[in-house]
């Protein structure tokens, strides 16, 4: 371990979630999110990350027809055991009958425990969109249902579905996410049916429940494939939707029946039924 490390703060003036997703493509290091600021720590030089987010802001400005900017500030810090400090800051989470905890926190036997180490994964349940999906899966999923988790990330929603008795397939376009999801299934002593690198287009069958916790633009882009993946009478759960985009998503999926519209802070989770 080196004596020092670089710490970079990235604060976009808008479209925060797009920047957070973009930063994850630029580094293998874990990120921290605090008050609309992305914090990246690395022993490597981070100048290329700064260049990348600045160029990304320019491209977004052109694409959206409005000025999108990002502030960056960097510093060199003494290398302490900040991983353990980060671990100490992570609190377990109750979502109705689920207890989401990192591996270093003791099991709560009164709940269905889901183990996710957030420093190593793509979703820990603390984000409003994941919370909404975890809550609504418990309401709508039945034992024996078939589930497809599109954009599985850490696999938390797939693992939750398995713990509810579903038969689970999952996929993600990022092979690192697929690897993480597989590892988390092992960590939770749960099994999946099929997993693949790619999106919903590669599916081989239809499902009782399709879950896609991504971002609104991607949901709209793959809307036809998501609808086709759902059985007649089945359900489609969409999340990752900011309040300013929710009407666009609803309109895109208006061939299905909206049966629940759950909001937590500025994020929506929608449940549709195919009739």
pLDDT tens digit sequence for 242-268: 999 999 999 999 999 999 999 999 999
What are the angstrom distances between the C-alpha of 101 and each of 57, 161, 187? 35, 16, 12
pLDDT band at 3 (very low <50, low <70, confident <90, very high): confident
The per-residue pLDDT for 121 is 43
pLDDT attached to residue 83: 65
CB distance 243 to 268 below 8 Å: yes
Residues 113-162 pLDDT 10s: 999 986 444 556 678 999 999 999 999 999 999 999 999 999 999 999 99
Q: What is the pTM of this model?
A: 0.70
pLDDT value at 163 more than 80 = yes
Which of 45-49, 138-142, 225-229 comes out lowest in average pLDDT? 45-49
Q: Identify any residues that bridge with 273 across adjacent strands, giving them in sequence order.
A: 235, 257
The pLDDT > 70 percentage for the chain reads: 94
pLDDT tens by residue, 179-210? 999 999 999 999 999 999 999 999 999 999 99
What is the pLDDT at residue 124? 60
Question: What average pLDDT does the segment 76-94 reach?
Answer: 75
CATH node for 4-86: 3.30.70
How is domain 90-273 classified at the CATH fold level?
Answer: Rossmann fold (3.40.50)
How confident is the model over 91-99, as a mean pLDDT? 92
Give CA–CA dist 81/1, Å, rounded. 10
> Residue 117's pLDDT is what?
81
Q: Kindly give the interhelix angle for 156-163 and 175-187, rounded to the nearest 10 degrees.
A: 40
Handedness of CA 175, 93, 104, 168 (dihedral sign): negative
CB atoms within 10 A of CB 9: 15
Domain ranges within the chain, ordered by starting residue: 4-86, 90-273
* Average pLDDT over every residue of 59-76: 93
């Amino acid at each position: 371990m080196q004596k020092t490390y670089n710490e970079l703060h990235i604060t976009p003036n808008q479209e925060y979630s797009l920047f957070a997703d973009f930063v994850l493509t630029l580094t293998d290091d874990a990120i921290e999110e605090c008050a609309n600021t992305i914090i990246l720590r690395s022993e490597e030089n981070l100048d290329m990350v700064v260049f990348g987010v600045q160029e990304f802001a320019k491209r977004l400005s052109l694409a959206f027809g409005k000025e999108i900017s990002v502030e960056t500030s960097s510093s060199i810090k003494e290398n302490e055991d900040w991983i353990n400090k980060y671990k100490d800051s992570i609190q377990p989470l109750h979502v109705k009958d689920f207890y989401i905890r990192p591996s270093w926190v003791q099991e709560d036997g009164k709940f269905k425990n889901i183990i996710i180490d957030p420093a190593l994964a793509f979703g820990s349940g603390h984000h409003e969109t994941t919370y909404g999906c975890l809550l609504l899966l418990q309401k709508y999923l039945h034992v024996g249902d078939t589930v497809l988790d599109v954009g599985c990330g850490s696999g938390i929603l797939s693992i939750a579905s398995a713990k509810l008795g579903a038969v689970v397939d999952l996929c993600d376009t990022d092979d690192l996410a697929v690897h993480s999801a597989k590892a988390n299934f092992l960590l939770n002593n749960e099994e999946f049916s099929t997993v693949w690198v790619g999106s919903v287009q590669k599916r081989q069958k239809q499902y009782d429940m399709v879950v896609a916790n991504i971002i609104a633009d991607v949901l709209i882009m793959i809307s036809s494939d998501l609808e086709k993946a759902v059985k007649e009478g089945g359900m489609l759960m969409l999340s990752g939707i900011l309040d300013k985009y929710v009407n666009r998503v609803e309109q895109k999926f208006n061939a299905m029946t909206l049966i629940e519209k759950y909001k937590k802070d500025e994020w929506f989770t929608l449940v549709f039924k195919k009739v």
